[in-house]
Structure 1
Amino acid sequence: MKKLGVLATLLLSAVTSHAQKVKTTFQIAEKWRPEYDVRADVVMLYGMDSTFHDRLTSWKQQGYGIQFMTGIAWGNYQDYFSGKFDGKTHWEESQTDINGHVIGHGRDVPYIVPTESYITYMKSRVKKAIDEGVTAIYLEEPEFWARGGYSEPFKKEWQKFYGFPWMAQDKSPEATYLSSKLKYQLYFNALKEVFLYVSEYSHKKVKCYVPTHSLLNYAAWQIVSPEASLAALPGMDGYIAQVWTGTSREPVYFNGVKKERVFENAFMEYGTLYSMIAPTHKDVYFLTDPIEDRPRSWDDYKRNYQATFTAQLMYPNVDHYEVMPWPNRIYLGKFKVENTDSLQHISSAYATQMQVMVNTLNDMPKSTNKVSGTPGIGVLLGNSIMFQRFPTHKDYEDPQLSNFYGMVMPLLKRGIPVQTVHMENLGFPDALANIKVLIMSYSDMKPYSQKVHQQLAAWVNKGGKLIYIGRDNDPFQEVKEWWNSNGLTYKAPSEDLFRRLKDKVVIVRKDPKELVLAPDQDSDYVALVKISYGKGWQTKNNFILDRGPYKIVSVLDENTDKTPVSIKGKMIDLFDPELPVINEKIINPGEQAFLYTIPAATTPKVLCAAARITNGYYGPYLTTDFSP
């Protein structure tokens, strides 16, 4: 077969300059160097220090628009801790565990309890960035560790927020729940104040974003963050969905087996971040990383990068991307070769493939097409899924978030593109617009108010189908909350929901984790969802989506159907650095494919390339021949 020639690729068509739009971005802390300039639209320059102006200038000279990123919960903020900022030391504001140990992101980089003085400090950092002319501020990873909450500043914040003395979170389910609820609120308030400051100081000219892990990952890693509630904040313009192989390889249970399921987990992670923002119509950028923080082999990185990259493209309404973090680490770092102890730089083959993939993101269109499979099945999710993760009480376990994945994996593994619906967004008109069957449980989370039930009841009364699965016997049902306070005496919050719905809800008295912790336990559950759904139900072993000329395919393993998927037609394989023109692509279970479908007739243009082409030209004598 013939390959798309490099010379033809470079000459074929004009493409607009990367500086003319903001569709793709990347983060870096270093000065510009050609070795790691990935030619995205803008650069997010990380960290504020004495070198910031010089770093900014080096990228600006290359035609880049400059944005600013820094951590909201941690960073190289030694001037704050040492007393250089305001004459006071602040080491005591570090998050600490039950033994008094500081929880750190690195040497002398503690995670922080966001006090009033710290918020003042963060305002000073973003002020400097605005003065330098940045167009956007990214405050990443608002994180409070679930095992934290024992420092004196946190105890003071507890007294201020609740009006009664601090309770050690390890003493009772209620103390755990209240501790996490406060951690959530502290970073919600911190971001709210900084966003307001940015808006006022910049006269609303500088946008604000929150790069954040998915709600699922934070819950799995026992971290508390404001997550979905941030979407409604004034001055908050959107999220970066920080999903990559390092988060998506977190093992989950299915059919009694705990293991990494990277594509499936990534699909749900991106989905949770999309559902957090979609009803608000604000911005969301999807991130992937060709490597990750933990040392792995290059082959491992590549295999799982393809899985997460495919998962992010399965959301056709998202067309903005952080193409990678830390390109200097990717291009200049050394990592293991598979099955050896030797370290080497990235191979030319993987670097080429990676850049081809990155450049497709500059071209990736939105699409009205849907991922193949039974549409309209959702699972309810809420911020409180982070509140029950640490510590364990009364021997009630939820290993690897199995009370969530128990509702999801039996459907996802049968080729059903499950969506998540955030209870915090139920007040938006579009939150349940495309949902036919909603599945929920209070075994892994709790509703923040009666509004959740009012909104769900209104949806059910309009024809929505609701399935509730749970025993309602976990210790967090007993937490002193709205369902058992101020005249209400429900033993579980679901009682308030059932009272409103009467016979309009299907109740399954199992915890969702029971469907996945042991083998062959999910068939009755799947049959129930099928009955509730009615006509149009379909199961299969794959997901396929067309976005313009791009075809994205993932074939699922652990399915009774072991048949490979065959895609036929004239295509370019974008996971092959040689960019071959092929007539058929066979994708086996457990594999993904990313293809460019070539039209029968086309004017000369760049179809794909490792280089980003600007100011292109094609002359009258060039022809394209894609015959085999």
Structure 2
Amino acid sequence: MRNQAFYALILTAIVVCFTQGNVLAQVKSKEKTSFQVAAPWSADYDVRSDIAMVYGINDANGNFEERVKGYRDKGYEVQFMTGIAWGQYKDYFLGEWDGKNHLDEGQMTQNGETIWHGKNVPYTLPTPSYIAYMKTHVKRAIDAGVTAIYLEEPEFWARAGYGDAFKKAWQNYYGFPWMAQHESPEATYLSSKLKYQLYFNALKEVFSYVKNYSQSLGKRVKCFVPTHSLLNYSSWHIVSPEASLANLDGMDGYIAQVWTGTAREPVFYNGKSKERVFENAFLEYGSMVSMTAPTGRKIFFLTDPIEDRPRSWEDYKVNYQATFTAELLYPMVDNYEVMPWPNRIYQGKFSVEGMKEKQSISPAYATQMQVMVNSLNQMPLSKNKLNGTQGIGVLLSNSLMFQNYPSHAGYSDPYLSNFYGMAIPLLKHGIPVETVHMENLANKNTLKDLKVLIMTYSNMKPSSAENHQELVKWVKSGGVLVYYGRDTDPFQNVKEWWNTGGNSFNAPSEHLFGLMGIGENANKSTYPVGKGKVYIVRQDPKELVMKANGDADFITTIQEAYETSAKAGLFVTKNNFLLKRGPFVIAAVLEESKNKDPLVLEGIFIDLFDPELPVIQQKSIQPGNQAYLFDMAKVEDQNKPQTLAAAARVTDEVLTKNSYQFMAKSPSNTKNIMRILLPAKPKNCTASRGGTAIALTKNEWDEQSKTLLLGFENFSEGVEVNLRW
């Protein structure tokens, strides 16, 4: 008892010391990995991430407070997620909440139909009464003790905007009567701007309420927005506040909702439109980073082992690996939503192409997924950069969502090709291209490491003249701007700041070029501006990818801009991306590149995409494939017994001179596999549950790597493992 008291005193002292510095956040509150779940806790999908985001107040899965308590009792930090544009809010829409039927607030199309998310669940317009209703939800969640609020997917469909509620909001916002968005480019643009502003205001008001109410209770409840990327929303014709939310006082961060379902959206390259999942996912995650990184807001990356559309399980696995690789190639992010809806993944059955009966997840895929998910608990931040030419970016703006539906005057942009035309060719040449949010240009961190910035106004427009002033400042200090665009799309002439209030520019680019001293007929190829240079190419970027070999001159132009004008070093083309983060090696090899060679890595690795966790000395990655490896040479303490990879979360480790003991927790009814570093081949290996022995399905020693491959049945409450040598 005396020793226990002594150690307790020491532990208390350590905790007190930690509270004096930045370590506190990770010591007191584990917030690295999470999952969202509407169902009550169950051993069958007990994922063992840090955070359980309990979904919905009214979901038909038991009492909300009981669900919160159920996850908290199992050791999770419990937070709350619900939809802001849709949800199980029948009590509101059918009049139970305030005695008024609110179905007329649903988002309505031109033919008078409401856009539904489910029965009596419309995509809604956030009216004052709806916002008041949402405040009751977040209050109940705060009262239940959650530590964060997630209001997901603030979505307004571009094809909506015809109901009476929207017409009223239009009159209040613009001060003049509603205009049907299909009748003119200006009406389309103004309609989307209003949709954008409505959800910006709604989130601002609800988050302000969350902060004020939680602080009145002596708490600080955080606020996050789980959202698709700007690229996906623009491609799917949805309007959302996106980047502007990062500057809200009450906003703590985002979840980047990227997965196979968003990344498999076809894109054009070399004259062909098809799924390019890795490339699209890489750009989607990148757009979320560029939205948040300059502001310092926190971001979680999401990926999903399955998706809603029926495909084969092999398709799910291949694309999960592609999106998972893409998210890990951003070393400045180390927070992850490891999966949505774990009960759906572990207990659901899915329509599979070529099979009559719906199929459950295979034991092998479940094991592989759990290895990948549990590795994220170890994933470090890294200052390492992706291999290849650095400092090339493509400019984005929230207005990318404003003009892609409906089309006008015969001008179209299939599959968002005016963006992908600037980005996909660079990726296919092995350039780790960045995206840059125009809304963040005033932040000093946004352009500080950029050498060449590529932009167009064929698919977006600047929100203010200040955007241009920031670009001019950057070019004059040595930046190189490459402008692609004919400036002939019908949105160039919408009534906006560049042609109103004393301005009379035919296109926003005229204003930009004028600030740089470039005349109205800006058709020459290059212009010196201060210490920098501007390239003007009168092509719309979609022309670079919608025809075969259309990107040849583009690549030559960017190489000249980078090497000659920016003097930034060599423009190196290749067919792969490679990043090392601590002991983890992440690699992808691209298809459709001139170089068809595989990337060959040599060392002593554990293959984390293989559910058998083999130790290999060489990995050959063919074009179109990715790899996820654990580098044995990067283990910090080679003499310390430790679990290197596992399909379970390892806790309660105890080390002695000749033994290693720990607890392994993962969803019940799944198969565990572990690769464990030991000083010598163990003489005795046991696994037990509550004192009852569990059979080992694997017990193999690898002398070269000094690792033990151990396998057994998983149990959510934990399996105690004892190893002696």
> TM-score normalised by the shorter chain: which range applies?
over 0.9
Instruction: Spell out, residue by residue over 1:182-208, the C-alpha distance to the aligned partner (whole angstroms, 9 max, x if none).
Output: 000000000000010000000161000
Over the matched positions of the two proteins, sequence identity in percent amounts to 62
Give the superposition deviation at 1:19: 8.6
Greater Cα shift, 204-213 or 180-189:
204-213
Matched, 1:66 2:84: no
Give the superposition deviation at 1:347: 0.8
Give the superposition deviation at 1:595: 0.1
Instruction: Spell out, residue by residue over 1:404-436, the C-alpha distance to the aligned partner (whole angstroms, 9 max, x if none).
Output: 000001101000011000000011110001110
Q: Which residue of 2 aligns with 1:538?
A: 572
Distance in 2 (CA, whole Å) between partners of 1:196 and 1:293 is 34
Matched, 1:186 2:198: yes
Give the superposition deviation at 1:106: 1.4
Counterpart selection for 1:55 from 64, 67, 74: 67
Q: Which residue of 2 aligns with 1:276?
A: 291
Instruction: Spell out, residue by residue over 1:149-189, the C-alpha distance to the aligned partner (whole angstroms, 9 max, x if none).
Output: 00000000000000000000000000000000000000000
Q: Which residue of 2 aligns with 1:243?
A: 258
Instruction: Confirm or deny: 8 A CA contact 2:80 2:149 kept in the other structure.
Output: yes
Q: Which residue of 1 aligns with 2:360?
A: 345
Would the alpha carbon gap of residues 18 and 579 (structure 1) be closer, same or farther in structure 2, given more than 3 Å must change?
farther
Instruction: Confirm or deny: 8 A CA contact 2:310 2:353 kept in the other structure.
Output: no
Would the alpha carbon gap of residues 158 and 521 (structure 1) be closer, same or farther in structure 2, given more than 3 Å must change?
same
Instruction: Spell out, residue by residue over 1:277-316, the C-alpha distance to the aligned partner (whole angstroms, 9 max, x if none).
Output: 0000110000000001222221111000000000000000
TM-score by length of 1: 0.96
Matched, 1:108 2:120: yes
Instruction: Spell out, residue by residue over 1:329-374, the C-alpha distance to the aligned partner (whole angstroms, 9 max, x if none).
Output: 0000112456433322111100000000000100000000001111
Instruction: Confirm or deny: 8 A CA contact 1:369 1:545 kept in the other structure.
Output: yes
Would the alpha carbon gap of residues 148 and 619 (structure 1) be closer, same or farther in structure 2, given more than 3 Å must change?
same
Q: Which residue of 1 aligns with 2:484?
A: 469
Instruction: Confirm or deny: 8 A CA contact 1:145 1:224 kept in the other structure.
Output: yes
Matched, 1:614 2:651: yes
Matched, 1:453 2:468: yes
Instruction: Spell out, residue by residue over 1:505-524, the C-alpha distance to the aligned partner (whole angstroms, 9 max, x if none).
Output: 11000000000000011111
Distance in 2 (CA, whole Å) between partners of 1:53 and 1:128 is 9
Counterpart selection for 1:496 from 511, 530, 551: 511
Distance in 2 (CA, whole Å) between partners of 1:583 and 1:391 is 54
Distance in 1 (CA, whole Å) between partners of 2:349 and 2:240 is 33
Q: Find the residue that maps to 2:653 and give its secondary structure.
A: coil
Counterpart selection for 1:576 from 607, 610, 619: 610
Q: Which amino acid aligns with 2:492?
A: Q
Instruction: Spell out, residue by residue over 1:370-426, the C-alpha distance to the aligned partner (whole angstroms, 9 max, x if none).
Output: 011110000000000000111110000000000000000110100001100000001
What is the RMSD computed on CA atoms of the aligned residues?
1.3
Q: Which residue of 2 aligns with 1:143?
A: 155
Distance in 1 (CA, whole Å) between partners of 2:69 and 2:214 is 20
Q: Which residue of 2 aligns with 1:31?
A: 40
Instruction: Confirm or deny: 8 A CA contact 2:93 2:120 kept in the other structure.
Output: no
Q: Find the residue that maps to 2:645 and give its secondary structure.
A: coil
Instruction: Confirm or deny: 8 A CA contact 1:299 1:338 kept in the other structure.
Output: no
TM-score by length of 2: 0.83
Q: Which amino acid aligns with 1:302?
A: K
Instruction: Confirm or deny: 8 A CA contact 2:452 2:482 kept in the other structure.
Output: yes
Matches within 5 A, 1:559-574: 559-574=593-608
Matched, 1:596 2:630: yes
Counterpart selection for 1:40 from 49, 65, 85: 49
Counterpart selection for 2:587 from 521, 528, 553: 553
Matched, 1:514 2:543: yes
Greater Cα shift, 559-568 or 52-61:
52-61
Distance in 1 (CA, whole Å) between partners of 2:360 and 2:644 is 28
Would the alpha carbon gap of residues 19 and 577 (structure 1) be closer, same or farther in structure 2, given more than 3 Å must change?
farther
Give the superposition deviation at 1:617: 2.5
Counterpart selection for 1:605 from 617, 642, 657: 642
Q: Which amino acid aligns with 1:326?
A: W
Q: Which amino acid aligns with 2:535?
A: V
Instruction: Confirm or deny: 8 A CA contact 2:34 2:49 kept in the other structure.
Output: yes
Distance in 2 (CA, whole Å) between partners of 1:332 and 1:160 is 48
Give the superposition deviation at 1:444: 0.3
Distance in 2 (CA, whole Å) between partners of 1:541 and 1:42 is 37
Distance in 2 (CA, whole Å) between partners of 1:346 and 1:596 is 25
Distance in 1 (CA, whole Å) between partners of 2:37 and 2:127 is 28
Q: Find the residue that maps to 2:204 and give its secondary structure.
A: helix
Distance in 1 (CA, whole Å) between partners of 2:306 and 2:178 is 42
Matched, 1:525 2:562: no
Would the alpha carbon gap of residues 530 and 626 (structure 1) be closer, same or farther in structure 2, given more than 3 Å must change?
farther
Instruction: Confirm or deny: 8 A CA contact 2:125 2:166 kept in the other structure.
Output: yes
Distance in 2 (CA, whole Å) between partners of 1:20 and 1:525 is 48
Is the strand fraction higher in 1 or 2? 2
Distance in 2 (CA, whole Å) between partners of 1:161 and 1:429 is 32
Matched, 1:83 2:95: yes
Q: Which amino acid aligns with 1:617?
A: V
- Unaligned residue ranges in structure 1 (runs of 5+): 1-16
- Unaligned residue ranges in structure 2 (runs of 5+): 1-25, 518-526, 564-568, 660-678, 681-701, 706-725
Deviating beyond 6 angstroms after TM superposition, the runs of 4 or more aligned structure 1 residues are none
Distance in 2 (CA, whole Å) between partners of 1:121 and 1:425 is 32
Distance in 2 (CA, whole Å) between partners of 1:398 and 1:345 is 39
Instruction: Confirm or deny: 8 A CA contact 2:367 2:647 kept in the other structure.
Output: yes
Matches within 5 A, 1:123-142: 123-142=135-154
Distance in 2 (CA, whole Å) between partners of 1:340 and 1:59 is 36
Instruction: Spell out, residue by residue over 1:265-286, the C-alpha distance to the aligned partner (whole angstroms, 9 max, x if none).
Output: 0000000001100000110000
Give the superposition deviation at 1:107: 1.6
Instruction: Confirm or deny: 8 A CA contact 1:425 1:431 kept in the other structure.
Output: yes
Instruction: Confirm or deny: 8 A CA contact 1:141 1:212 kept in the other structure.
Output: yes
Q: Find the residue that maps to 2:642 and give its secondary structure.
A: coil
Greater Cα shift, 58-67 or 413-422:
58-67
